[in-house]
Amino acid sequence: MTDSAVVTVSALWAVIAGTLLCGFAVFAVTLDAGLSARAHGAGGGWFTLPSRLARLLRQRRRTTVAADTLLWRVGGIGMFIGAFLMVAVIPLGRWTLADLDVGVVWFNTIDVLVWALVWLTGWGANSTHSLVGGYRFLAHGLAYELPLMFALVAPAIAAGSLRVGAVASAQQDDVWFVVWMPVAFLIYLIGVMGFSVWGPFAAALATDIAGGAGAELSAVDRLVFHAGRYLFLAAGAAFSVPLFLGGGAGPWLPAWAWVLIKTLVVLAVLVWLRRKVPLLRPDRFMSIGWTILLPAIVVQDLVVSVVAVWKG
Amino acid sequence: MGVTEMISRLALRVVRVLIVEVPGQWLTRMELEHQMLRRGWRRALTAADADVLAVCGVSGPELTPLVDRLWQQMPGPRVRADMVSPRAVNSALDEAAILYLDTEHHKRDAQERAQEPWIPEGPVDHMDHDDHGNHAGMGHDNHEGHGGMNHDDHAGMNHNDHDEHAGMKHDEHAGVDHGEHEGHGGMDMSPGGVPLAEGGQDRDGLEMDVLHLPLGPVLPYWPAGLVLTCSIQGDVVIGSDVSIVDSGDHGNESEISHNGLRAALHCDSVMALLALAGADDLAARARRARDFLLRGDQVAASDALVRMTRAIRRSWLLRWSLRGILVLDQVDLDRYGLSVGCGGDAYDRMLRTIDRVRAEVDGRVSASEEDELVPWQVLPELVSGMELATLRLAVASVNLELCFIDKEVEHDR
């Protein structure tokens, strides 16, 4: 089961992968803006992306008194780049850019990197609201990261491999992992919203601290930071497909099309959730993370392990 | 030229507006929000993200320097729009839109303004307050923030008996006000002129930096004119001082001419609470109900309110989020001289406010409002020890008495 059924394609295809990821991010931005406009009873909102880009590109960059500029910029740019590194290990049907034998761990590594990136963005501006935003993200991270790690482990145990392609092909002629690992799937989605600083997990960027870690960002710095969040959300949605949703499995359409469709659906759900679910404040979520999510996912892993051993 | 023109026209559709609400000018602010929505413009949370600085009302002597500082902090292209009354909003925004497109003007502005951020210094010109008025709401440079967390347990530390407020007075007597970093008489300065953070014991008895953060008067979903200068460790507020900007100025309050406006004002406070709790869809509903009330459309408002109430009661996550915030039991109510209507937690108070709005809309006469007001002077005692997020929800959940200020009552910690 360890030899995966995916073909590693040449690095030039990274351009296509990057474009697809950007396309998903555009979809997320547009859907969010459209839903937002509708909630406010205003029309339109569906063509907002070019306008937002134009506004931020026309804006001047600014800095603050005694800002730690290097670290501040590293945070923003890192957010932008991170998601592209994630998609390198996600197979699109039969093809993948990098068939790492530790693909799942690679994904996890990048998502842990977000801790540093958001913190640096909050720290670098030399501003109290930003700094508080950074603290909040770390507090959220403490609560969601461990459950997320255990959630990533579950499909890997079932497939007997950390290779993403192998995890996907293990579900080809079997039930999808989401069916018998629903807890892991839900916690995985929570983790995705966590490292994308999205929706209920956007406390680090919340209104009550005037934008938090992003409070002092303007122009292109704001653009890359927030684009990075959407890209992470898209990458997280895409990674759920090989992990839990059977990869390219599906009738009629080719495998790559199924991967894209499933990604879109997961992404749309995540975007929609933002408007429906209030902020989970770090102080309150901490107890949920440690007393509910963590035990639940450990039990899930145990069940998966027993089943894997029993199946041989 | 064609491309520049096209980019600025595109950008005009999503302009972000930083709203400065002069105390009492809530009608102007609501009209502004309504007009912004029609244009697709959104609220900016900070000066860093703002294209337009909209001042609702005529700012007083204390607010004016703050507005100027926010103006300095805007990245540009930047446009200032002053609107003295609800009727002036539309034309002010039209002018702002025209100026926003004027790229040549913005190029000149960019060359002429200061190229580096700086912290203004100058003599203190108002001394009747414990805190100086010039806390630029969410000003960026008011932070001596490079301490990070230092959880080393220094045995025998004596740093815990610092009194920041003694330092504050010291500053004042020196006649130099470093903008927003009072509380540091004789402390070390970083090269940028930002005072370095001082240490203090946190609630677990560990050494942690103390930062000073003024909340208000320009902060989204924050009572207009209120300034709460907090000393925080991490995001825990260990102490605060409260004041009102331009408290001497009366008479510029928007008139509450009919019941619908009063209901709209209450609806607005529910919206603020929901927005701070991050319940975006519910906040949008509250806002629509508010706008119906402002326009006097009672039927639509009533319908919107019913649906909003249903959605709020259905959301168990919202209940979970607001439960237990600023619980006021009978003992507390007696101590601060508050009415029974202020009791319970944030969730209880929100539901009561919604009931009141619905009663007002339906024409049922409700209890006299004055009973449920909370005087702003007691805020520091109410919020001490809270996390910043909880504090914001707590402040939004009470009906603050901000008008008719008794200048004699100064709150000293």
CA distance A288 to chain B (A): 12
Q: Going by DSSP bridges, is the β-strand pair B226-233/B236-244 parallel, antiparallel, or unpaired?
A: antiparallel
CA distance B340 to chain A (A): 28
Query: Contacts of residue B277 in chain A, CB cutoff 8 Å?
Result: 278-279
Task: Label residue B387 by pLDDT band (50, 70, 90).
Answer: confident
What's the residue count for chain A?
Answer: 312
CA-nearest residue to B189 within chain A is: A66
Inter-chain CB proximity B140 and A52 less than 8 Å: no
Taking the CA of residue B410 as centre, how many other CA atoms within 13 Å lie in the half-sphere pointing to its CB? 7
Task: Report yes or no on B209 lying in a domain.
Answer: no
Task: Report yes or no on B52 lying in a domain.
Answer: yes
Kindly provide the b/e burial profile for residues A167-182, where b requires at least 16 CB atoms within 10 angstroms of the residue's own CB: bbbbbeeeebbbebbe
CA-nearest residue to B47 within chain A is: A216
How many domains is chain B partitioned into structurally? Answer: 2
Neighbours of B143 (CB within 10 A): 26
pLDDT in tens, B126-152: 333 333 333 344 444 443 333 333 333
Domain around B298: 259-372
Task: Report yes or no on B36 lying in a domain.
Answer: yes
Inter-chain CB proximity A60 and B317 less than 8 Å: no
Inter-chain CB proximity B389 and A65 less than 8 Å: no
Inter-chain CB proximity B11 and A281 less than 8 Å: no
Inter-chain CB proximity A215 and B8 less than 8 Å: no
- Of A40-44, A93-97, A250-254, B232-236, least confident by mean pLDDT is A40-44
The average confidence (pLDDT) of chain B is 75
Which of B388, B390, B392, B393 should we substitute to test contact with A (largest number of A Cβ atoms within 10 Å)? B388
Task: Report yes or no on B93 lying in a domain.
Answer: yes
pLDDT of B365 strictly over 70: no
Task: Report yes or no on B264 lying in a domain.
Answer: yes
Inter-chain CB proximity A284 and B320 less than 8 Å: yes
Question: In sequence order, what are the residues at sequence separation of 6 or more whose Cβ sits closer than 8 angstroms to the Cβ of residue B413?
Answer: B165, B239, B240, B241, B380
Inter-chain CB proximity B40 and A45 less than 8 Å: yes
Q: What is the CATH number of the domain that holds B90?
A: 3.40.50.12280
Inter-chain CB proximity A65 and B315 less than 8 Å: no
CA distance B106 to chain A (A): 10
Task: Report yes or no on B131 lying in a domain.
Answer: no
Query: Contacts of residue B221 in chain A, CB cutoff 8 Å?
Result: 207-208
Structural domain ending residue among the three candidates B52, B82, B112? B112
pLDDT in tens, A150-203: 999 999 998 888 888 888 888 887 888 888 899 999 999 999 999 999 989 998
Select the residue of B10, B46, B77 nearest A216 (Cβ to Cβ): B46
Which residue has better confidence, B135 or B275?
A: B275
Inter-chain CB proximity B388 and A210 less than 8 Å: no
Neighbours of A284 (CB within 10 A): 18
Structural domain ending residue among the three candidates B67, B82, B112? B112
Nearest-10 crossing angle of helices B346-361, B298-314: 160
Task: Label residue B277 by pLDDT band (50, 70, 90).
Answer: very high
Q: What is the pTM of this model?
A: 0.84
Q: Which residue has the tokens 């890209």?
A: A231
CA-nearest residue to A282 within chain B is: B389
pLDDT of B172 strictly over 80: no
pLDDT in tens, B284-343: 999 999 999 888 888 888 899 999 999 999 999 999 989 888 888 888 888 877 777 788
CA distance A239 to chain B (A): 27
Q: Going by DSSP bridges, is the β-strand pair B198-201/B207-215 parallel, antiparallel, or unpaired?
A: antiparallel
Task: Report yes or no on B149 lying in a domain.
Answer: no
Mean pLDDT (whole number) for B381-401: 86
Select the residue of B7, B190, B220 nearest A54 (Cβ to Cβ): B7
Query: Contacts of residue A40 in chain B, CB cutoff 8 Å?
Result: 37, 284, 287-288
Inter-chain CB proximity A63 and B117 less than 8 Å: yes
Helix, coil or strand: residue B31: helix
Residue A241 CA: distances (Å) to CA of A24, A25, A245, B210: 14, 16, 5, 46
Query: Contacts of residue B117 in chain A, CB cutoff 8 Å?
Result: 62-65
Task: Report yes or no on B243 lying in a domain.
Answer: no
Does the N-terminal peptide bond of residue B65 adopt cis geometry, omega within 30 degrees of 0? no
Structural domain ending residue among the three candidates B112, B127, B159? B112
Interface of B with A in 289-308 (CB under 8 A): none
Inter-chain CB proximity B321 and A279 less than 8 Å: yes
Tokens standing for residue A297: 């996912």
Inter-chain CB proximity B14 and A48 less than 8 Å: yes
Inter-chain CB proximity A210 and B219 less than 8 Å: yes
Inter-chain CB proximity B13 and A41 less than 8 Å: no
pLDDT of B249 strictly over 50: yes
CA distance B273 to chain A (A): 10
Query: Contacts of residue A44 in chain B, CB cutoff 8 Å?
Result: 40
> Which of B115-119, B164-168, B179-183, B308-312 is most confident?
B308-312
pLDDT of B408 strictly over 50: no
